[in-house]
Amino acid sequence: MIALRSEITRARLGERPALVGPFLAVPSPMVVEIACATRPDFVCIDMEHGPISPTMAEDMLRAAALWHVPALVRVPGPEAAAIGQALDFGAAGVLVPRVSSADEARAAVAAARFPPDGRRGLGPGRASGYGRGLPEYLRAARGLTVVALQIETVEALDALDAILAVPGIDLAFIGPGDLGVGLAASDRDTTLEAAIDDILTATASARCAAGIFTMTRRDAARYDGRVALAICGSDSTVLTDGFSAAFG
């Protein structure tokens, strides 16, 4: 299991810069290897918006492990089975989308943590060496598994303090796209940037690490000192930019 949790904590405490890595939504271990060869701090395999099957996600995690790059998995949704499966495949942690209440946050944490901190089941998957290293994996996972929750709905803004108070959350990750869509569809008199600022202020007060999505590393720089992790762009945006530069 490749550690990431301690690095997020160090970044939150200012001992190192924010961690930076891409979303990988193209279902291809080859793309994972190409991305990991650039030595990002981590990659995040995107099963929410990418056409990635469980079998493919496991193979993509193998490809990241070849380069010793920690890999998160953004699961398709907050369902416990999807969270447990991604971790059994060997993910360093999960990014859980659309968490809008404290109850949903507690359910996500419970699905990702072994007892007594949660209800995750221990099975003979890839993460445990197919059962050969179950005791060792159990000990390691308790200290290393990252639980990141996406704050990306108007409802999450209303419940933010309660969400951040849930034990076991390592990272509150801001999804500006969906948050912006939700704000535009609401009657709230606030801007997306103001909402992001409020979230970052709340995470700092709660002593919870924060993360955010931006299109580029340059965009992420505006949040220096306020986030521990930034997901910058994706394989599809890099491909689009590259083909546009070559043939557009």
Active site residue 68: no
> Please, which residues bridge with residue 147 across strands?
94
Owner of token pair 């005791």? 135
Q: Is 114 helix (H, G, I), strand (E, B) or coil?
A: coil
> Please, which residues bridge with residue 44 across strands?
23, 72
Q: Closest Cα partner for 209 from 19, 1, 27, 2?
A: 19
Q: Is 43 helix (H, G, I), strand (E, B) or coil?
A: strand
- Classify the phi-psi angles of 90: left when phi > 0, otherwise alpha if psi is within -120 to 50, otherwise beta: left
The single residue of 10, 49, 119, 226 carrying the catalytic annotation is 49
- Residues marked active site are found at 49
